[in-house]
Amino acid sequence: MAENGIRIVVINGSVRPGNYTAMASALVVDELKKHADPKVQVDVVDPLEWHLPFPGTDPQSTATSALQKLVRDATGVVLVTPEYHGGFSSVMKLVIENLGFPSVLAAKPVALLGVAAGTIGAIKSLEQLRSVCAHIGAIVLPLPISVPNVQKVFDKDGRCLDPNVEKLIRGVAGNLMNYIHHAICPSVTLERLLRSGAGVTA
Protein backbone atom coordinates (compact mmCIF):
# COMPACT_ATOMS: atom_id res chain seq x y z
CA MET A 1 0.00 0.00 0.00
CA ALA A 2 1.23 3.50 -0.81
CA GLU A 3 2.83 5.30 2.13
CA ASN A 4 0.46 8.26 1.80
CA GLY A 5 -2.75 6.24 1.68
CA ILE A 6 -4.71 4.08 -0.71
CA ARG A 7 -3.98 4.48 -4.40
CA ILE A 8 -6.15 2.84 -7.06
CA VAL A 9 -5.27 2.57 -10.74
CA VAL A 10 -8.16 2.11 -13.18
CA ILE A 11 -7.07 0.86 -16.61
CA ASN A 12 -9.34 1.14 -19.64
CA GLY A 13 -9.03 -1.42 -22.41
CA SER A 14 -10.46 0.58 -25.32
CA VAL A 15 -9.21 3.50 -27.40
CA ARG A 16 -12.29 3.84 -29.62
CA PRO A 17 -13.72 7.39 -29.54
CA GLY A 18 -16.75 7.57 -27.26
CA ASN A 19 -16.19 4.01 -26.03
CA TYR A 20 -18.53 2.45 -23.48
CA THR A 21 -15.58 1.03 -21.57
CA ALA A 22 -14.61 4.51 -20.41
CA MET A 23 -18.23 5.31 -19.57
CA ALA A 24 -18.44 2.27 -17.31
CA SER A 25 -15.07 2.91 -15.67
CA ALA A 26 -16.08 6.53 -14.99
CA LEU A 27 -18.78 5.23 -12.63
CA VAL A 28 -16.20 3.14 -10.79
CA VAL A 29 -13.88 6.14 -10.52
CA ASP A 30 -16.72 8.33 -9.25
CA GLU A 31 -17.60 5.73 -6.62
CA LEU A 32 -13.98 5.43 -5.51
CA LYS A 33 -13.74 9.18 -5.09
CA LYS A 34 -16.88 9.14 -2.93
CA HIS A 35 -15.27 6.72 -0.51
CA ALA A 36 -15.13 7.86 3.08
CA ASP A 37 -11.36 7.49 3.25
CA PRO A 38 -9.97 10.94 2.28
CA LYS A 39 -6.62 9.44 1.33
CA VAL A 40 -7.93 7.44 -1.63
CA GLN A 41 -6.18 8.57 -4.81
CA VAL A 42 -7.43 7.38 -8.20
CA ASP A 43 -5.39 7.32 -11.40
CA VAL A 44 -7.03 6.46 -14.72
CA VAL A 45 -4.96 4.94 -17.50
CA ASP A 46 -6.21 5.75 -21.00
CA PRO A 47 -3.93 3.69 -23.29
CA LEU A 48 -4.50 6.14 -26.14
CA GLU A 49 -2.51 8.73 -24.21
CA TRP A 50 0.36 6.43 -23.28
CA HIS A 51 1.70 5.31 -26.70
CA LEU A 52 2.80 1.95 -25.34
CA PRO A 53 5.16 -0.08 -27.55
CA PHE A 54 4.53 -3.58 -28.84
CA PRO A 55 6.35 -6.22 -26.77
CA GLY A 56 10.06 -6.39 -27.56
CA THR A 57 10.14 -3.33 -29.79
CA ASP A 58 11.31 -0.67 -27.32
CA PRO A 59 12.84 -2.03 -24.10
CA GLN A 60 13.84 1.50 -23.03
CA SER A 61 10.33 2.96 -23.41
CA THR A 62 9.70 5.77 -20.94
CA ALA A 63 5.95 5.12 -21.24
CA THR A 64 6.46 1.51 -20.16
CA SER A 65 8.61 2.54 -17.19
CA ALA A 66 6.09 5.18 -16.11
CA LEU A 67 3.18 2.74 -16.37
CA GLN A 68 5.03 0.10 -14.38
CA LYS A 69 5.81 2.60 -11.62
CA LEU A 70 2.19 3.75 -11.49
CA VAL A 71 0.92 0.19 -11.07
CA ARG A 72 3.76 -0.85 -8.76
CA ASP A 73 2.83 1.98 -6.38
CA ALA A 74 -0.88 1.13 -6.49
CA THR A 75 -2.75 -0.50 -3.63
CA GLY A 76 -5.24 -2.03 -6.04
CA VAL A 77 -6.13 -2.09 -9.72
CA VAL A 78 -9.36 -2.11 -11.75
CA LEU A 79 -9.19 -3.54 -15.27
CA VAL A 80 -12.05 -2.56 -17.57
CA THR A 81 -12.34 -4.24 -20.96
CA PRO A 82 -14.76 -4.51 -23.85
CA GLU A 83 -15.39 -7.90 -25.39
CA TYR A 84 -14.14 -8.18 -28.96
CA HIS A 85 -14.60 -11.39 -30.95
CA GLY A 86 -15.15 -13.47 -27.85
CA GLY A 87 -12.12 -12.21 -25.94
CA PHE A 88 -10.74 -9.22 -24.07
CA SER A 89 -9.28 -6.39 -26.11
CA SER A 90 -5.83 -6.32 -27.66
CA VAL A 91 -5.45 -2.92 -26.03
CA MET A 92 -5.78 -4.49 -22.59
CA LYS A 93 -3.32 -7.22 -23.56
CA LEU A 94 -0.84 -4.56 -24.69
CA VAL A 95 -1.15 -2.82 -21.33
CA ILE A 96 -0.56 -6.09 -19.49
CA GLU A 97 2.45 -6.91 -21.68
CA ASN A 98 3.93 -3.54 -20.77
CA LEU A 99 3.65 -4.29 -17.05
CA GLY A 100 6.79 -6.40 -17.25
CA PHE A 101 7.92 -9.90 -16.40
CA PRO A 102 7.68 -10.57 -13.57
CA SER A 103 4.58 -8.39 -13.79
CA VAL A 104 4.08 -5.46 -11.44
CA LEU A 105 0.49 -6.73 -11.17
CA ALA A 106 1.79 -9.67 -9.14
CA ALA A 107 0.30 -9.71 -5.62
CA LYS A 108 -1.96 -6.75 -6.45
CA PRO A 109 -5.70 -7.07 -5.83
CA VAL A 110 -7.41 -6.70 -9.20
CA ALA A 111 -11.12 -6.09 -9.80
CA LEU A 112 -12.55 -6.86 -13.25
CA LEU A 113 -15.28 -5.11 -15.23
CA GLY A 114 -16.33 -6.02 -18.76
CA VAL A 115 -18.78 -4.52 -21.25
CA ALA A 116 -20.23 -6.01 -24.42
CA ALA A 117 -22.84 -5.27 -27.04
CA GLY A 118 -24.20 -8.82 -26.98
CA THR A 119 -26.91 -10.21 -24.74
CA ILE A 120 -24.59 -12.57 -22.83
CA GLY A 121 -22.26 -9.75 -21.88
CA ALA A 122 -18.50 -9.90 -21.47
CA ILE A 123 -18.41 -13.35 -19.85
CA LYS A 124 -15.81 -14.80 -22.21
CA SER A 125 -13.50 -11.80 -22.04
CA LEU A 126 -13.66 -11.72 -18.24
CA GLU A 127 -12.87 -15.43 -18.01
CA GLN A 128 -9.82 -14.96 -20.23
CA LEU A 129 -8.69 -11.82 -18.42
CA ARG A 130 -9.05 -13.55 -15.06
CA SER A 131 -6.90 -16.42 -16.33
CA VAL A 132 -4.14 -14.10 -17.58
CA CYS A 133 -4.14 -12.04 -14.37
CA ALA A 134 -3.98 -15.17 -12.22
CA HIS A 135 -1.13 -16.52 -14.34
CA ILE A 136 1.00 -13.43 -13.71
CA GLY A 137 0.30 -13.56 -9.97
CA ALA A 138 -2.39 -10.96 -9.46
CA ILE A 139 -5.01 -11.48 -6.76
CA VAL A 140 -8.15 -11.51 -8.89
CA LEU A 141 -11.15 -10.62 -6.75
CA PRO A 142 -14.42 -12.54 -6.99
CA LEU A 143 -17.59 -10.99 -8.39
CA PRO A 144 -16.37 -9.60 -11.74
CA ILE A 145 -19.08 -7.49 -13.34
CA SER A 146 -20.27 -8.07 -16.90
CA VAL A 147 -22.48 -5.50 -18.63
CA PRO A 148 -24.49 -6.85 -21.59
CA ASN A 149 -26.21 -4.71 -24.24
CA VAL A 150 -23.95 -1.87 -23.19
CA GLN A 151 -25.08 0.35 -26.07
CA LYS A 152 -28.52 0.41 -24.43
CA VAL A 153 -27.20 1.02 -20.94
CA PHE A 154 -25.46 4.35 -21.60
CA ASP A 155 -26.55 7.36 -23.58
CA LYS A 156 -24.18 9.28 -25.85
CA ASP A 157 -23.16 11.54 -22.96
CA GLY A 158 -22.12 8.61 -20.78
CA ARG A 159 -25.13 8.63 -18.46
CA CYS A 160 -26.24 5.22 -17.25
CA LEU A 161 -29.89 4.60 -18.09
CA ASP A 162 -30.40 1.57 -15.85
CA PRO A 163 -30.14 2.16 -12.07
CA ASN A 164 -29.64 -1.56 -11.37
CA VAL A 165 -26.74 -1.83 -13.79
CA GLU A 166 -25.23 1.37 -12.42
CA LYS A 167 -25.36 -0.11 -8.93
CA LEU A 168 -23.55 -3.24 -10.14
CA ILE A 169 -20.85 -1.21 -11.87
CA ARG A 170 -20.31 1.01 -8.84
CA GLY A 171 -20.10 -2.15 -6.78
CA VAL A 172 -16.74 -2.89 -8.42
CA ALA A 173 -15.31 -0.02 -6.39
CA GLY A 174 -16.87 -1.27 -3.17
CA ASN A 175 -15.63 -4.80 -3.76
CA LEU A 176 -12.06 -3.63 -4.20
CA MET A 177 -12.14 -1.21 -1.27
CA ASN A 178 -13.62 -3.85 1.03
CA TYR A 179 -10.77 -6.20 0.18
CA ILE A 180 -8.18 -3.49 0.76
CA HIS A 181 -9.63 -2.50 4.12
CA HIS A 182 -10.06 -6.05 5.38
CA ALA A 183 -6.99 -7.77 3.91
CA ILE A 184 -4.34 -5.18 3.17
CA CYS A 185 -4.72 -2.32 5.67
CA PRO A 186 -4.52 -4.58 8.77
CA SER A 187 -1.35 -6.28 7.56
CA VAL A 188 0.28 -2.94 6.71
CA THR A 189 -0.61 -1.60 10.15
CA LEU A 190 0.78 -4.70 11.84
CA GLU A 191 4.01 -4.48 9.85
CA ARG A 192 4.48 -0.85 10.85
CA LEU A 193 3.88 -1.69 14.51
CA LEU A 194 6.43 -4.49 14.42
CA ARG A 195 9.02 -2.32 12.66
CA SER A 196 8.57 0.42 15.24
CA GLY A 197 8.89 -2.07 18.08
CA ALA A 198 5.49 -1.15 19.47
CA GLY A 199 4.33 -4.73 19.29
CA VAL A 200 7.36 -6.17 21.09
CA THR A 201 6.92 -7.20 24.72
CA ALA A 202 9.48 -8.45 27.21
Number of C-beta neighbours around residue 186 at 10 A: 10
pLDDT cut 70: percent of the chain above it: 88
Judging by DSSP bridges, how do beta strands 7-12 and 41-45 pair with one another? parallel
pTM value is 0.89
- Nearest CA among 147, 160, 150, 152 for reference residue 30: 160
Give the model's pLDDT for residue 59: 83
The domain 7-196 is classified under which CATH number: 3.40.50.360, 3.40.47.10, 3.30.2130.10, 3.30.70.250? 3.40.50.360
Q: Where are the domains positioned within the chain?
A: 7-196
Q: Nearest-5° angle of CA 25, CA 111, CA 151?
A: 35
Taking the CA of residue 135 as centre, how many other CA atoms within 13 Å lie in the half-sphere pointing to its CB?
Answer: 9
User: What average pLDDT does this structure show over 119-135?
Assistant: 97
Taking only the tens place, the pLDDT of each residue in 33-69 is 987 666 789 999 999 999 999 998 998 899 999 999 9
d(CA 14, CA 151): 15
Q: What is residue 21's predicted lDDT score, i.e. its pLDDT?
A: 97
